[in-house]
Structures are given as C-alpha cells and as structure tokens.
Amino acid sequence: MASIELRGVSKRYPNGLYGVRDIDLKIRDGEFVIFLGPSGCGKSTTLRLIAGLESVTSGDLLIGDQSMVGVPPRDRDVAVVFQSYALYPHMTVAANMAFGLKMRKMPRREIATRVDRAADLLGLSHLLTRKPAALSGGQRQRVALGRAIVREPKVFLFDEPLSNLDAQLRAEMRLELVKLHRRLGRTIIHVTHDQIEAMTMGDRICIMREGRLIQSGPPLEVYANPVDTFVARFLSSPPMNLLPAHLEVDGDGLTVKLGEAIRLAVPERHVPAYRAVAGRPVTFGLRPEDIHEQPPAPTQQGFEVQVVALEALGAETNLVAQPTASGALPEITARLGRQARARTGETVTLYPDLLSMHLFDPETGAVIPRPPLDAPR
C-alpha cells in the first residue's frame, strides 16, 4: 500500500523539450486517480516517471514516503499495464503471469497458487497454456491485467489499457477495473484520453495539457467548475458551448450580451462574483445539457436559433443550432431529451439555465471564479 507524491517533477529531454513540467501532486494510499488529456500532454510520460521507466530531470518523486529518484523500476513495486499489453510472445499465458513472481524468486507452489487465483478472477483459467498470439484482444488485455495482479504490487499504473478494445468490451472492462480497485484497495493511476473513463472510474481526475497539470479534483467537481476553457471543452462530449460575449451593468444586476441582440440576465447569486469584470468582453460558457426547449423557470429568457442538425442518440438528442440574432455567433449545441420536438431547418427558442453559466477571460481562457454550485446539482 502506498501513497505517491510528485514534488515539482519535470522531465526534460536532451533536445530541450519538456515531457512534463513542474508537476505537484499528492495521491493518497488506495486512491484511484485518472490522468486525462489529449495525446502528447505528458500523461503517459508522468506514468513512466512514476514507474521508473524514464528518469526525473528535476523535482522529487515519492512512493510511500520514500524518494524514488534513481530507484530502478524493479525495486519500486509498481505494476504497469501497457496500452499495447506488451505480453511476452514466447511465453504461455501462465508463464506471462508468473514472470514477475519468478523474477522475485517466489517459491514455485506459491506462484502456481497466485497465477491460478488471478486466472480464476479474470476468467483466464482455460487459456493458461496458450501463447498470446492465440488470444483475442480482450483476452490479451486480461492477461496483461493478470500479470499485474499476481504480483500484488503497491501501485497499479494503467497506460490506456482499454483503448484497443471495442466499445462494448471497453464498457465491461471499465466496470471490472472499478470493481478490482474496490476489491484490492490498491493505489491506481489510470491514464486515458477518454472522457467517459475519466468521469466514471476514478476518485479524482488530473487534467494535463502540454506537460502541465492544470486541474485536479473529483470528477463531478471538475466538471462543474472547470478552471479554463480547455478543461471546460475537454471534459464532456459534446463539449461546452463557448460564445464571445460582453458583460454589461444593468441596474443592480448584470447582463450577458451575446452578439447584437441576445441579452441574458445573470442570476443574482453570481452577480457579486462577476461584478468585477462588468463592462468587459468575456467568453460565455454553457454546457449543452444546460440548454432546454422549455424554460426551466417561468421568468427565464430564451433566444431564437435555427436548427442545423439533430443527432438522435436514443436516450437523448443533440441539437446543433445557429443563433438567429445578428452578430456572428458560432453554432451552439444543446443536449435535449428523447422527446426533442425541434426539426432540422426550423427556428425554435432555446432556454439557457444561467445558474450553470461560466465566464472565462477571452484572452487567457482562465475561468472568472464564482462560488461553486453544489456538485451534482
């Protein structure tokens, strides 16, 4: 069992580029943490730094209160499941799983017991004598997982292990990994670029971009309170709507002006926080699920849009629409219920739920802070 701590960890390559930069992060013992970000953001590099497969250039890295700088991977007691699975092709499934235990000179009988137990847990018992080439993708993935489990390491590091599976298998494995975490209670770091994995699996999400850790927190908290437009857009699909706007003083209150004609009153509870940026251009952000066909409150203002496209997903309908007001506004997306009535080409009125609105600095993209809403609302 082990906590992990990164103190100002950077990885700089000989060509001067940074893989990761100044990462400060504390992971509690037994926590399930997700590293999320687009490809090339440094999440896999961070994982390899923790595993010891790459060396830290500056900063300190601790596993269970012990500095790991200069400690080889074999002495860190971590297990990695690679995106490619990296099964040893010349060994059988059983030998693959036993390899780590053999390296640690465990008695043969104990090895057999552990391999059998893990194979049982993962439904691999009938495949133990096969070579990896004779397995399906899902089976290989399980063997890779089994190879990690038998060692009973302090820390599990998963490097996008689900990305090569088909959608259905991925959903099943997602659930199994969560169950596994609950059963083993070990610290897990799971790297992914998949928002659904990020939202559903972990206790905490760490969002990375260009080698830096930009936000970390419980999934719903990060979802409800993104620190900038990048996080706001990255964490959901379809992403948050971002519209150029102007914040204007309106008596005691504030009004968001979109384009030339759309004026939306800022809810009273947000007014104190936003008053400081009144009179300035801002980026107005609203998630697709916070836009409705019916007004959420009788007094709620709406605005007219022309429907560009409809994606009926069964449980919900994504509506892409162009605001009809003048002022060159971008298209917006609304996530409506199954019974969405709008049709492509029609002009309809949509009602934003402004309690969930966000404002961002149009230049830096940083959020203009307001008191968080209770998550989930």
Partner 1 sequence: MTDSAGQGRGSGLRLLLTHALLILVCLVILLPLLWVLRVSLLPPSLSYSTDLSAPLSLVNFESLFSGRFPRSYLNSLVVATGSVLLALPFAAATGYAFARFTTGGAVARFSVLATQMLPPVVIALPIFQMFQTLDLSNTLTGLILAYAALNLPFLTWILMGFFKGIPVDLEWAAMTDGATAWGAFWRVVLPVSLPGLAAAGVLGFILAWNEFLFALILSGPNTATIPVALAALQTSNGIQIGDVAAGVVLAVLPLMIASRFIQRFIVEGLTLGSVK
Alpha-carbon distance 145 to 127, whole Å? Answer: 14
Shortest Å, Cβ 205 to partner 1: 24
By beta-carbon proximity to partner 1, the closer residue of 12 and 212 is: 12
How does DSSP classify residue 243?
E
90 binds partner 1 per the rule CB under 8 A? yes
Alpha-carbon distance 121 to 142, whole Å? Answer: 10
Shortest Å, Cβ 4 to partner 1: 15
107 binds partner 1 per the rule CB under 8 A? no
Burial of 11 (0-12, 13-18, 19+ CB in 10 A): buried
**Residue 22: how many other CB atoms lie within 10 Å:** 15
H or E segment to which residue 33 belongs: strand 32-36
The first and second tokens of residue 349, run together, are 């009125």
137 binds partner 1 per the rule CB under 8 A? yes
Helices and strands (H, E) in the chain, number of each type? 9, 20
169 binds partner 1 per the rule CB under 8 A? no
Shortest Å, Cβ 148 to partner 1: 9
Segment near partner 1 (CB under 8 A); pick from 31-39, 127-135, 177-185, 327-335: 127-135
95 binds partner 1 per the rule CB under 8 A? no
Using CB under 8 A, which residues numbered 53 to 82 contact partner 1?
53, 72-74, 76, 78-80, 82
Using CB under 8 A, which residues numbered 1 to 30 contact partner 1?
14
151 binds partner 1 per the rule CB under 8 A? yes
140 binds partner 1 per the rule CB under 8 A? yes
Find tokens 């090339």 and name the residue.
40
Phi and psi angles of residue 356, each rounded to the nearest 5 degrees, phi first: -95, 10
Alpha-carbon distance 348 to 287, whole Å? Answer: 19
- Residue 244 one-letter amino acid: P
By beta-carbon proximity to partner 1, the closer residue of 16 and 89 is: 89
142 binds partner 1 per the rule CB under 8 A? no
110 binds partner 1 per the rule CB under 8 A? no
Contact criterion met (CB below 8 Å) for 258 and 252: no
271 binds partner 1 per the rule CB under 8 A? no
84 binds partner 1 per the rule CB under 8 A? yes
Burial of 78 (0-12, 13-18, 19+ CB in 10 A): buried
Segment near partner 1 (CB under 8 A); pick from 48-56, 169-177, 246-254, 267-275: 48-56
How far, in Å, are 69, 145, 158, 165, 251 from residue 83 at the CA level?
Answer: 25, 11, 8, 10, 57
By beta-carbon proximity to partner 1, the closer residue of 48 and 190 is: 48
One residue of 147, 174, 335, 358 binding partner 1 per CB under 8 A: 147
313 binds partner 1 per the rule CB under 8 A? no
Contact criterion met (CB below 8 Å) for 355 and 376: no
Contact criterion met (CB below 8 Å) for 355 and 372: no
Shortest Å, Cβ 82 to partner 1: 5
Question: Which residues on neighbouring strands pair with residue 66, listed in sequence order?
Answer: 63
By beta-carbon proximity to partner 1, the closer residue of 78 and 329 is: 78
Catalog residues that contact partner 1 under the rule CB under 8 A. 14, 48, 51-53, 72-74, 76, 78-80, 82-90, 99-100, 103-104, 131-135, 137, 140, 147, 151, 164
